[in-house]
Every structure is written in C-alpha cells, then in structure tokens.
C-alpha cells in the first residue's frame, strides 16, 4: 500500500478575509519541486486590474481567487476579417467560424466578418514564483487565459476554472499557454468553452510540467466538428518539453486530446478519455509518449495513424515489467471500452525517464472512479490514489 500525502500549505489570515487556503499537496512527475509563491502571505485580489497586476509582477505571490474575475468586455470588441473553414459544415447551427489570426484562413474559405472579445485573444503574462489558487468552487477566470512564457518559471495553477474565451471562433483564445518556461504545475483546473486550445505548449522549451487532476470539458455550442464537441484540446509542440499528464478527465472532445510533437516527452498515466468522436492521441515526428493505466471510453480513434513519433502503450505484462527501473513500478495496461486500437511498443523511450518522480499507476479498473471523484475544481481536499511519498531525487528550482 502506497503512503498518501495530502498537505494543506500556506494557511494564514489576510486583510479582508478570515482565512486563506493555500496550495494543497505537491506535484509529482516532471514538475516535482515546483513551489510557486511558496510561503508568501495569501492575497485576495479585489478585481481584474489587481489580479492582472499581481500575476504579472516580479514578486513571489500566493493569489487566492474567491469569485469570478470577468474579463469579457474589459478590452473592448474587435470587428474584422474572418472566414468559414471547410470544417464548419453546419453554419448557424453550432459550427465554429474563424478569426483570421496569423493569416490562418485559407484562400478557398469564404470570407466573413467576425466580432469578438479582444481580451480573450491574449493571455495574462504570468510572472515567476506564483501560486494561483481557487477557493472551493468559486475561483473562476472568465474571458482571459494564462500565458507562462519568456523565462517565467516556478508557477502553480490550482483549483480554478478558466472559461468563455470567444468559444464561437477558432483562434478566439487559448486557456493556458506555455512557451519558454520551467517548473509548472497545473492541478485541479477546469477548462471549458474556449475558442482554440485548452492547453498549448510550444515552440520554445518549457521543460518540466505536470498537469494533474484536471477536467477538460469539451461540451460546446460551437464545435469545429459540428457535433457539440470541442476539437482543439491539447497541443504539445515544445522544442524540449517533459510533461506528466496524470489523473485528468478529458471528455466530449473530437480531436487533439492530445496532439504531441516538437521534442516532447510525455508520460500519460491514469487519465480518463471519454466520449471523443474524433481522435485522442496524435503523435507527430519528435513526440515521445509513454501511456499507461489510462481508460478510453467511447473514443472513436484512440491513436491517429500513421504514428510519426514513438509511443509505448503497455501491451503485455513482460513489456510492462520493463518500466520498473525507470518509473519505479510496472506499467499498468490501458483499458479500451468501445474505443479504437492503442498499440505502441517503443520500449527504448523508457530510458528517458531516469531520475523521474513518477506517479504510481492505478490498475485500469480503478481509474474511472478515481478520476471522476478527484478531477476538476472543488476537489483538492480529497484523497488522490496516485499521490504518494517518494524518496527519489526531486528536481530543484
């Protein structure tokens, strides 16, 4: 039986609030050692101006969100050129049109005028040494994403809901963006109703990242696949990224769940992928994925073919035993329920997980209940079965 730790850190009083709730637990996986704002006194921003100022400055901070911070309309609206991509086969009935960002609109696409909220198109540039924490289920950022980039590092984002970034338009906004960072822990976050990517890492190296216990909710009124499901899930194209994806719930998607390329090493363990009408994993050249103990439930295409990168998918007990020298446990098999094939035998990439603080893997039959009980906002105080005490080396800041 693994030992469990659920620690409540940085609990203190602050002006105007009786008690401040700090970061719960600590990350395993590649982001082990991330401390965020550390022991800084928790602070409650009064409004979006103060939240933006605290997120973007150079001061270590523990920032607690106890309400909805609504950026919609804060920077005005833009009316400009857009297009109707070929994917929008249901215009006016739940399809997604596109903003012509980065000259994305193909010349063959019909041109249309689009009006969108400006704030959502650029994320808040988060500085180093920050913890951004939601209180209960109350911490919501609406109409603006987070961007951790250009050398910012050591950031924790926990128990917040990011939502409503121009969801009717492709290129309407990204929820969480990494580009040129290190030591980022995203935990118990919910993301919904986003125009473009729920999570994107690229192209500058983002090195050590853990995404855990989070919910990627793809239910939408504006779908690039015209079926009420979000297509733009996770795009991982960093030039030297190491990412742990553990205990997450990705549902009602239709693609990119995730798309992995660049030079990204990804450990996907004990995640639940459900109700995906398109594809889950799409592995491009340079992408290297170890996927174990995941559950795929009603996922039409579990792994896009052809696989251009390398993937290990826990195909046999003998192969799974080869994980132990690197992950400190035998790999767990993946469970496929009404889902496509998931085959990959690239055992050589296991050696890249040396000196790695791996989450233990639950058996495939325990994953669904665990993820549904723990993933998303308002659940940080629950026992997480993959959390344990480790004596292995932790990365240092």
Count of helices and strands (H, E) across the chain? 4, 31
Total number of domains constituting the chain: 1
CA–chain centroid gap for 93, Å, is 29
Q: What is the helix, strand, coil percentage profile of the chain, to 5?
A: 10, 40, 50
DSSP output for 184-207: EEEES-EEEEESS-SEEE-SS--E
In the numeric block, the tokens 């994305």 are attached to 104
pLDDT (0 to 100) of residue 100: 97
The secondary structure element, H or E, covering residue 303 is strand 295-303
- Judge whether residue 389 has pLDDT over 70: no
| Within a domain: 2 | no
| Within a domain: 127 | yes
CATH number, residue 29: 2.160.20.10
Main-chain phi, psi angles of 106, to 5 degrees: -65, 150
| Within a domain: 135 | yes
Strand order in the sheet with 241-246: 42-43, 61-65, 130-134, 153-158, 182-187, 207-212, 241-246, 264-269, 288-292, 310-312
Judged by DSSP in three states, 146 sits in strand
| Within a domain: 43 | yes
- Judge whether residue 384 has pLDDT over 70: no
Q: Which residues of 213-223 are buried (b: 16+ CB within 10 A; e: fewer)?
A: bbbbbbebebb
Is residue 256 part of the annotated active site? The answer reads yes
Local confidence band at 10 (pLDDT 50, 70, 90 cut-offs): very low
| Within a domain: 172 | yes
Task: Tell me what the mean pLDDT of segment 369-374 comes to.
Answer: 97
| Within a domain: 106 | no
- Judge whether residue 75 has pLDDT over 70: yes
- Judge whether residue 395 has pLDDT over 80: no
**Over pLDDT 70: what percentage of the chain?**
91
200-223 pLDDT per residue, tens: 999 999 999 999 999 999 999 999
Local confidence band at 170 (pLDDT 50, 70, 90 cut-offs): very high
274-330 pLDDT per residue, tens: 999 999 999 999 999 999 999 999 999 999 999 999 999 999 999 999 999 999 999
| Within a domain: 366 | yes
Task: Tell me what the mean pLDDT of segment 169-180 comes to.
Answer: 98
| Within a domain: 82 | no
48-73 pLDDT per residue, tens: 999 999 999 999 999 999 999 999 99
What is the domain extent for residue 192?
12-75+121-374
Q: Which of 142, 256, 387, 390 is catalytic?
A: 256
**Over pLDDT 90: what percentage of the chain?**
90
């Amino acid at each position: 039986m693994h030992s469990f730790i659920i620690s409540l850190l940085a609990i203190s009083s602050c002006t105007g609030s009786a008690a401040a709730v700090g970061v719960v637990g600590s990350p395993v996986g590649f982001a082990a050692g991330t401390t965020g704002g550390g022991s800084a006194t928790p602070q409650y921003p009064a409004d979006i101006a103060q939240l933006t100022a605290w997120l973007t400055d150079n001061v270590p901070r523990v920032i607690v969100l106890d309400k909805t911070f609504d950026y919609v309309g804060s920077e005005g609206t833009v009316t400009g050129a857009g297009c109707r991509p070929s994917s929008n086969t249901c215009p006016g009935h739940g399809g997604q049109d596109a903003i012509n960002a980065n000259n994305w609109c193909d010349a063959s696409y019909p041109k249309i005028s689009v009006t969108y909220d400006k704030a959502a198109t650029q994320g808040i540039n988060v500085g180093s040494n920050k913890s951004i924490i939601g209180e209960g289920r109350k911490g919501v950022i609406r109409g603006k994403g987070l961007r951790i980039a250009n050398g910012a590092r050591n950031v924790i984002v926990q128990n917040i809901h990011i939502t409503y970034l121009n969801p009717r338009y492709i290129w309407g906004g990204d929820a969480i963006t990494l580009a040129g960072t290190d030591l980022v822990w995203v935990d118990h976050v919910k993301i919904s109703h986003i125009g473009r990517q729920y999570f994107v890492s690229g192209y500058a190296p983002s090195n050590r990242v853990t995404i855990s216990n989070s919910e990627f909710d793809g239910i939408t009124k504006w779908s690039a696949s015209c079926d009420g499901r979000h297509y733009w899930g996770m795009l991982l194209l960093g030039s030297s990224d190491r990412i742990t994806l553990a205990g997450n719930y990705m549902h009602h998607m239709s693609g990119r769940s995730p798309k992995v390329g660049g030079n990204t090493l990804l450990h996907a363990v004990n995640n639940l992928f459900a109700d995906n009408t398109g594809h889950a994993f799409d592995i491009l050249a340079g992408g290297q994925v170890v996927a174990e103990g995941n559950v795929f439930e009603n996922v039409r295409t579990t792994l896009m073919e052809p696989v251009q990168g390398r993937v290990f998918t826990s195909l046999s007990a003998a192969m799974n035993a080869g994980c132990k020298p690197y992950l400190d446990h035998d790999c767990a098999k993946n469970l496929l329920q009404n889902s496509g094939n998931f085959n990959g035998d690239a055992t050589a990439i296991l050696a890249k997980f040396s000196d790695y603080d791996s989450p233990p893997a639950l058996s495939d039959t325990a994953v669904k209940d665990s993820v549904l009980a723990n993933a998303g906002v308002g659940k940080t105080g629950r026992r997480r079965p993959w959390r344990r005490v480790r004596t292995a080396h932790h990365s240092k800041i």
